[in-house]
């Protein structure tokens, strides 16, 4: 986890990850013991590639990140799809939201593939960059997700 999140280009695309990111940050994150956090592993060899999770205290916001070597291969889409399926079936929520910073359109494409719709834009803090950035909020309803999956 530390190896991937210590890469500024990974950390800067998240809102909550500080930079630099060290072992003590990883230990604190693990110690939090939050529910609904999942490791993203590569099939076959179990290589740790990143994480995905749902924050229930934020109106069911979901997020994901991958180490840079895994960008562009469809892993984020697959992980997000599994996470959203979990939210709608196991947690029985009716809608989720996720955000993407203006300079990370790849994440916006992942969310659109799931059926998420733009739900407004606002400034949002980014710990790694130490500043607020324009963030696009996306809303994903159960109905839109199921419709997109059926298409």
Query: pTM, whole model, 2 decimals?
Result: 0.94
Q: Which DSSP string corresponds to 46-96?
A: --EEEEEEEEGGGTSEEEEEE-GGGTTSSHHHHHHHHHHHHHHHTS--SEE
Whether the Cβ atoms of residue 24 and residue 134 lie closer than 8 Å to each other: no
Strand-pair partners of 98: 138
Is residue 116 exposed (0-12), middle (13-18) or buried (19+ Cβ within 10 Å)? Answer: buried
CA–CA separation, 133 vs 135, rounded Å? 6
Q: Which DSSP string corresponds to 21-46?
A: --HHHHHHHHHH--SSEEEEE-TTT-
DSSP structural state of residue 114: H
DSSP structural state of residue 113: H
**Domain boundaries defined on the chain:** 2-150
2-150, what's its fold?
Answer: Aminopeptidase (3.40.630)
Distance of CA 35 to the CA centre of its chain: 15
Q: What is the pLDDT along the chain (151 residues), one digit of tens a residue?
A: 999 999 999 999 999 999 999 999 999 999 998 889 999 999 999 999 999 999 987 789 999 999 999 999 999 999 999 999 999 999 999 999 999 999 999 999 999 999 999 999 999 999 999 999 999 999 999 999 999 999 8
Give the pLDDT confidence score for residue 37 in this predicted structure: 95
CA–CA separation, 114 vs 98, rounded Å? 11
């Amino acid at each position: 986890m530390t190896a991937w999140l210590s890469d500024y280009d990974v950390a800067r695309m998240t809102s909550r990850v500080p930079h630099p990111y060290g072992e003590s940050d990883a230990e604190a994150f693990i110690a939090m013991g939050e529910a609904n956090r999942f490791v993203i592993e590569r099939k076959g060899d179990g290589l740790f590639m990143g994480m995905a999770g749902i924050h229930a205290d934020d109106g069911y916001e979901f997020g994901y990140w991958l180490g840079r070597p895994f960008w562009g291969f469809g892993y984020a889409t697959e992980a997000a799809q599994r996470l959203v399926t979990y939210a709608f079936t196991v947690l029985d929520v009716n809608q989720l939201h996720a955000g993407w910073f203006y300079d990370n359109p790849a994440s916006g494409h992942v969310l659109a593939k799931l059926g998420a719709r733009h739900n407004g834009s606002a400034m949002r803090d980014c710990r790694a960059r130490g500043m607020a950035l324009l963030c696009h909020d996306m809303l994903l309803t159960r109905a839109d997700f199921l419709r997109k999956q059926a298409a």
